């Protein structure tokens, strides 16, 4: 089967959320030993978890993992980021050595860290935490031609899917957090977000990890040029991903679709994850039912993606680091939403029925 | 020594925060392997933790505990809450049996639960999780006379302090979360908040766990009557606490002061904790340096207290359950703030110095 067909097959496997389980969870909430609604946002999240798992109360996800998808970007040569390309590989090494922010945050919430190289420019040394699945050593400049071929985009999606499947099937992982690393990767994210939401580049393009006004103007122009050049058609999500996306964006699409297929919650990190969730939804509309917005990144495209997906972020901590850090910090909230629903006594049990 | 003097002695022991440690932590942040500021709110929190501990990087608080302080309220007889008084004792039993929201959330974040009876109306059965330190079986009606005597207020403060001291000294607890249980306890909270911030009862009085418009009007009137009756003088914090406070509010004051004395972070839950933090600050101005606002409760007095204390809440999940639940959910954020500061590599170590 052609790789592209495998992506569509995966998307077609995403089951609709179990609305009956969600209703049962909602019913259970109303009988718990607390004033109605007093658990706030957790009360909305619990039934969503039931809809994903097909069970009420939902299982408590006790084995979370963050999948940090890494790649480089030809568009960096346009000057859209002040960081050199070599930072991508250096940070991947830092993830493997345990010295990055994602390691510290993952340790805090008890999540394992898995790193996926789908497109880092530099040749990387082998490491047990690193899945080597390089599709190509970075994308081409999306403002001058397609970022990659359709086949390459499909390969990167399936690399993310494969790692996620292995984590869930063999690793017992029951919650996936999407993470990303790739210097210049907020530029393809802005392209994808403009393509799928129809919002103009001046709204979807932000400062990423921190650029000055001149660089921001240039970055917006580059996004505009890319959209004008490719005129992406959202009816062909893989085509959009190939034209203006990134390899790690594609891999995250695979992680999201696979989580959805297994009924496992997928917690998004920031703007790169948000852009990938738009692609995933275009491929499989029901996939959004399995997606939880971990946090609100200050990157404008992140907010736009979440609005378009109909998701409200759990945290708002002004974090814009990527790597999965913001998504990871939401993990205890997801666990608490499931655990309160499953473990609290009812008013009736306490004699107040 | 008179009990009242012991409270003031405790307050006087609160050390000033270590500003040099905070500066050292801030300096360390600027060299870590991430774009400056990209960890958002965590970057502000790390130096605060250093100022509390007197160390940079700060220790990662790995043994959190929530202290749920429980008491009943004479003012309930005015009809300020629809719940019967017996719910307080029933919920304390639920805490001990592990079936309440606080148990589920504490388990999620790896915190132990400690319950303190300083004023539950009903006689409670002994339980290993329950510290029996009943000062009196509920306060008097604060709209008709003082809620309690100064001696009783001091006794409740010292009960909270004693339990917190034991948890830190013998239990190895390195982070305290304040929790509360007491039907009608948002009424004394509103009184305390109006007294210490000068804001009128119509702004500080809210719906608590959920009351209708008529009850809210009555509750505001009761708060106005209490303030008119007692004309509380904030220069005498213990007098204010005795006149219009609650026994669990007083106990939380003791928990906060003790955390501050030991340099241990104290994470506040909702409006009752916020009102207690105002009392603690009036007794020991430096105590606020050891206090972290866990979440933003929709109760208006909670927002007012935090603004007055100069604290910005970490979470905003529309939670208004009390018990310490909102504070507990902020624990991983505090841990992540400490851990990123302590465990991340520097740019220099990665070769980007």
Shortest distance, CA B298 to any CA of chain A (angstroms) = 9
Residues of A acting as catalytic residues: 323
Distances (CA, A) of A98 to A127, A200, A216, B191: 12, 39, 32, 50
Mean pLDDT, to the nearest integer, of A24-37? 93
* Terminal-residue alpha carbon distance, chain A: 58
Asked whether B98 and B81 are in contact (CB, 8 A), the reply is: no
Place of tokens 């980021």: A81
Q: Which residue has the tokens 């969870």?
A: A25
Query: Is B319 within 8 Å of chain A by CB?
Result: yes
Task: Kindly tell me if the per-residue pLDDT of A341 is higher than 70.
Answer: yes
Q: What is the ipTM metric for this complex?
A: 0.97
For B336-345, how does the pLDDT look when each residue is reduced to its tens digit (9 = 90+)?
999 999 999 9
How high is the pLDDT of residue A352?
74
Instruction: Find the residue in A nearest to B339 (Cα).
Output: A104
- Which residue in chain B has the smallest CA separation from A210? B35
The pLDDT of residue B39: 96
pLDDT at residue number B353: 60
Contact status of A236 with chain B (Cβ, < 8 Å): no
Q: What is the CA radius of gyration of chain A?
A: 20
Q: How far apart are CA A132 and CA A120, in angstroms?
A: 10
| pLDDT score, position A198 | 98
Distance from CA of B12 to the nearest CA of A (A): 34
Residue among B42, B94, B332 whose CB faces A350 most closely: B94
Query: In chain B, which ranges are continuous DSSP H helix?
Result: 3-12, 19-31, 41-53, 86-97, 101-109, 150-169, 186-197, 201-204, 213-230, 237-244, 247-262, 271-283, 300-309, 325-329, 331-343
Per residue in A90-139, pLDDT (tens digit) is 999 999 999 999 999 999 999 999 999 999 999 999 999 999 999 999 99
Closest CA to B291 of B255, B266, B328: B266
Q: List the beta bridge partners of residue A132.
A: A117
Contact pairs from chain A to chain B, CB under 8 Å = 165
Is there a contact between A103 and B343 (Cβ–Cβ < 8 Å)?
Answer: yes
> Which of B154, B153, B245 lies closest to B194 in space, CA to CA?
B245
**What's the pLDDT score for residue A353?**
60
Which of A42, A93, A352 comes nearest B87 by C-beta? A352
pLDDT computed for residue B52 by the predictor: 98
Structural domains in chain B, sorted by start = 3-59+339-343 (1.10.1610.10), 64-335 (3.40.50.10210)
B210 interfaces chain A, CB cutoff of 8 Å: yes
* Predicted local confidence at residue A208, as pLDDT: 86
Q: Are B9 and B1 in contact (CB under 8 A)?
A: yes
In this complex, do B94 and A319 lie within 8 Å of one another by their Cβ atoms? no
Instruction: Give how far Cα A125 sits from Cα of A129, A155, B157, Å.
Output: 11, 21, 59
Give the separation between CA A111 and CA A178, rounded to whole angstroms: 12
Give residue B208's pLDDT.
Answer: 86
- Judged by a CB distance cut-off of 8 A, whether residue A335 touches chain B is yes
pLDDT for residue A242:
98
B351 and A CB contact within 8 Å = yes
Task: State the DSSP code for A289.
Answer: G
Active site (catalytic) residues of B: 323
| Residue B103 distance to chain A (closest CA, Å) | 8
* The predicted structure's pLDDT at residue A62: 98
**Helix/strand/coil for B236:** coil
pLDDT class of A87 with cuts at 50, 70, 90: very high
Contact A319 B99 (CB under 8 A): no
* Residues of chain B scoring pLDDT < 50: none
Contact B320 A94 (CB under 8 A): no
From the list B316, B320, B344, the residue facing A99 with the nearest CB is B344
A105 and chain B: CB distance < 8 Å anywhere?
yes
Q: What is the pLDDT of residues A149-197, one digit of tens each?
A: 999 999 999 999 999 999 999 999 999 999 999 999 999 999 999 999 9
pTM of the model: 0.98
Strand partners for A71:
A119
Q: Does the distance separating the beta carbons of B105 and A317 come in below 8 Å?
A: no
Residue of chain A nearest B317, judged by CA positions = A41
Contacts of B38 in chain A (CB under 8 A): 209-210, 319-322
Distance of CA A18 to the CA centre of its chain: 22
Q: What is the per-residue pLDDT across A222-261, written as a single tens digit (0 to 9) for each?
A: 999 999 999 999 999 999 999 999 999 999 999 999 999 9
Contacts of B100 in chain A (CB under 8 A): 33, 344-345
Which residue of A28, A39, A293, A314 to mutate against B (max B Cβ within 10 Å)? A39
Mutation for A interface: B89, B100, B108, most A CBs within 10 A? B108
**What is the pLDDT at residue B70?**
98
Token pair recorded at residue B277: 């933090």
**Which residue from A37, A108, A298 is facing B339, i.e. has the nearest CB?**
A108
Cis amide prior to B163 (ω within 30 degrees): no
Query: What pLDDT does B351 receive?
Result: 82
- Report the candidate in A261, A273, A218, A305 with the shortest Cα–Cα distance to residue A53: A261
CB-based burial, A287-322: b 16+ in 10 Å, e otherwise: bbbbbbbbbbbbbbbbbbbbebbebebbbbbbbbbb
Would the CB atoms of A108 and B332 count as touching at under 8 Å? yes
- Please say whether the beta carbons of B119 and B137 come within 8 A: yes
Contacts of B267 (CB under 8 A, 6+ apart): B175, B176, B177, B178, B291, B292, B293, B294, B327, B328, B330, B331, B334
3-state secondary structure B187-213: HHHHHHHHHHHCCCHHHHCCCCCCCCH
Spatial separation of the C-alpha atoms in residues A267 and B42, rounded to whole Å: 20
B209/A contact by beta carbon, under 8 A: yes
Q: Which residues of B touch A42 (CB under 8 A)?
A: 317, 319
- Among A258, A275, A295, A108, residue whose Cα is nearest residue A186: A275
Backbone φ and ψ for B69, nearest 5 degrees, come out as -95, 130
Tens digit of each residue's pLDDT (9 = 90 or more) over B244-263: 999 999 999 999 999 999 99
Tell me the per-residue pLDDT of A269-326, one tens digit each, with 9 for 90 and over.
Answer: 999 999 999 999 999 999 999 999 999 999 999 999 999 999 999 999 999 999 999 9
Sheet holding B291-293, edge to edge: B130-132, B112-119, B64-71, B175-181, B266-268, B291-293
Q: What mean pLDDT is reported for chain A?
A: 97
């Amino acid at each position: 089967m052609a790789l592209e067909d495998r992506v569509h097959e995966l998307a077609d496997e995403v089951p609709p959320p179990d609305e009956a389980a969600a209703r049962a969870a909602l019913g259970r909430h109303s009988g718990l030993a607390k004033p109605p609604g007093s658990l706030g946002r957790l009360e909305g999240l619990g039934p969503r978890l039931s809809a994903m798992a097909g069970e009420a109360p939902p299982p408590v996800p006790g084995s979370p993992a963050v999948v940090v998808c890494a790649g480089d970007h030809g568009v960096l040569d346009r000057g859209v980021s002040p960081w050199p390309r070599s930072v991508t590989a250096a940070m991947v090494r830092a993830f493997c050595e345990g010295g990055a922010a994602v390691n510290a945050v993952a340790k805090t919430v008890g999540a394992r860290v898995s790193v996926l190289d789908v497109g880092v420019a530099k040749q990387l040394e082998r490491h047990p935490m690193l899945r080597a699945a390089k599709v190509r050593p970075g994308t081409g400049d999306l403002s001058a031609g397609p970022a990659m071929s359709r086949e390459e985009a499909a390969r990167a999606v399936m690399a993310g899917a494969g790692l996620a499947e292995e984590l869930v099937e063999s690793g017992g992982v029951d919650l996936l957090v999407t993470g990303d690393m790739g210097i210049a990767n907020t530029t393809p994210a802005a392209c994808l977000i403009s393509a799928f939401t129809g919002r103009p580049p001046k709204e979807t393009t932000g400062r990423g990890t921190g650029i000055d006004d001149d660089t921001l103007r240039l970055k917006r122009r580059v996004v505009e040029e890319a959209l004008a050049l490719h005129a992406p058609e959202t009816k062909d999500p893989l085509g959009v991903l190939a034209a203006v996306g990134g390899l790690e964006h594609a891999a995250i699409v695979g992680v999201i679709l696979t989580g959805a297929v297994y009924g496992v919650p997928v917690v998004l990190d920031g703007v790169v994850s948000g852009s990938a969730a738009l692609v995933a939804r275009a491929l499989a509309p029901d996939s959004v039912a399995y997606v939880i917005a971990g946090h609100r990144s200050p990157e404008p495209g992140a907010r736009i993606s979440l609005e378009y997906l109909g998701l409200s972020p759990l945290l708002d901590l002004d974090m814009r680091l990527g790597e999965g850090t913001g998504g990871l910090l939401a993990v205890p909230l997801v666990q608490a939403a499931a655990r309160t629903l499953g473990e609290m006594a009812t008013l009736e049990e306490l004699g107040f029925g």
